[in-house]
């Protein structure tokens, strides 16, 4: 990171006493385009002056207990996060860009692993990384250079679990508006896809619900067709070059199926990749 930016942006692990524990999907550590989102998280925390840490014990946001309908397994998997938060002495828990992980956190954590009376009551428990970044942007805590993304024309894919089973912020529909407001704060060129394919009416990426395996590639390619058609429309109408998403499964799915529809696999991008590219490091120091 220092070689690229000249700034010592830290990505701490198991750092006791940090304010924020980030629970990220494991793909953020090794896969593209996910890892660029993790890089973006670090830039946001660095520039905002917020101490944070990852956990080697709770290093996976995913909770596949939800896919098999097992409350017992959901609780067992989620308990690692509570234990890590208590062990590290953090005051906030922030969930990274993962659709079903945010659904489990938002809809189930309170009964699975609550209460969160050991966390700072001034912040949501849990909090999504987009909520945190949006709040910082609203307060002017980040200096952003939107022109850093001028080579991109961006649209946004609403992930099913986020759009239809959660909320962000303190207003209904925040899970739909907050990610878009973050993108618009860091990009000059943004266009939504057709209204019937976004928001609460969003169409599946084709790889959710446990379908993300190469053994089901034919089904996954067919399942992606509605989104690919909507993407094709904004590409032709507005010159869209990239589709952003905040779900690890969606990003993995699109990276795999985009070439089947004559797109490039790198046209799927993390929202916090866009944020990270726009953050002006050192501007607030």
- The alpha carbon of 21 is separated from its chain's Cα centroid by a whole number of angstroms, namely 15
If we measure between CA atoms, which residue out of 150, 96, 82, 152 comes closest to residue 127? 96
Q: Where are the alpha helices (DSSP H) in 15-127?
A: 34-48, 71-88, 99-112
Element (H, E) at 155: strand 154-156
pLDDT at 205: 97
Q: Give 4's pLDDT tier (boundaries 50, 70, 90).
A: confident
C-alpha to C-alpha distance for 161 and 200, rounded to whole angstroms = 10
Q: In what order do the strands lie in the sheet with 127-128?
A: 52-53, 20-23, 92-95, 127-128
Q: Give 5's pLDDT tier (boundaries 50, 70, 90).
A: confident
User: What CA–CA distances, in Å, run from 13 to 83, 85, 158?
Assistant: 15, 12, 30
Residue 65 reports pLDDT greater than 60? yes
- The alpha carbon of 20 is separated from its chain's Cα centroid by a whole number of angstroms, namely 16
Residue 283 reports pLDDT greater than 80? no
pLDDT at 284: 64
Residue 285 reports pLDDT greater than 60? no
Core vs surface per residue 116-140: b (16+ CB within 10 A) or e: beebeeebbbbbbbbbbbbbbbeee
If we measure between CA atoms, which residue out of 86, 31, 74, 6 comes closest to residue 251? 31
> How do strand 154-156 and strand 268-270 relate by DSSP bridges?
unpaired
Q: Residue 91 in contact with residue 240, Cβ under 8 Å?
A: no
Q: What is the pTM of this model?
A: 0.96
If we measure between CA atoms, which residue out of 244, 251, 273 comes closest to residue 27? 251
Q: Which CATH class is domain 2-139?
A: alpha beta
């Amino acid at each position: 990171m220092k070689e690229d930016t000249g700034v010592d942006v830290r990505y701490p692990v198991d750092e006791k006493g940090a304010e924020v524990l980030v629970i990220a999907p494991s793909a953020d550590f090794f896969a593209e385009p996910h890892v660029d989102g993790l890089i973006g998280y670090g830039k946001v925390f660095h520039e905002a002056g917020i101490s944070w840490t990852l956990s080697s014990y709770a290093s996976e946001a995913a909770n596949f207990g939800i896919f098999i309908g097992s409350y017992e397994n959901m609780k067992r998997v989620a308990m690692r996060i509570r234990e890590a938060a208590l062990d590290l002495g953090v005051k906030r828990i922030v969930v990274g860009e993962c659709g079903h992980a945010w659904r489990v956190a938002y809809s189930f954590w309170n009964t699975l692993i609550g209460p969160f009376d050991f966390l700072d009551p001034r912040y949501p428990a849990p909090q999504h990384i987009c909520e945190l970044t949006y709040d910082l942007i609203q307060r002017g805590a980040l200096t952003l250079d939107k022109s850093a993304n001028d080579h991109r024309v961006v649209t946004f894919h609403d992930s099913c679990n986020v759009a239809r089973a959660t909320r962000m912020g303190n207003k209904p529909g925040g899970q739909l508006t907050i990610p878009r407001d973050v993108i618009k704060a860091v990009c000059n060129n943004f266009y939504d896809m057709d209204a019937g394919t976004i928001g609460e009416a969003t169409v599946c990426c084709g790889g959710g619900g446990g379908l993300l395996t190469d053994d089901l590639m034919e089904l996954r390619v067919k399942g992606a067709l509605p989104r690919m058609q909507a993407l094709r429309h904004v590409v032709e109408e507005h010159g869209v070059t990239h589709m952003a998403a905040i779900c690890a499964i969606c990003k993995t799915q699109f990276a795999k199926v985009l070439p089947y529809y004559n797109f490039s696999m790198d046209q799927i991008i993390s929202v916090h990749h866009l944020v990270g590219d726009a953050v002006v490091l050192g501007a607030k120091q």
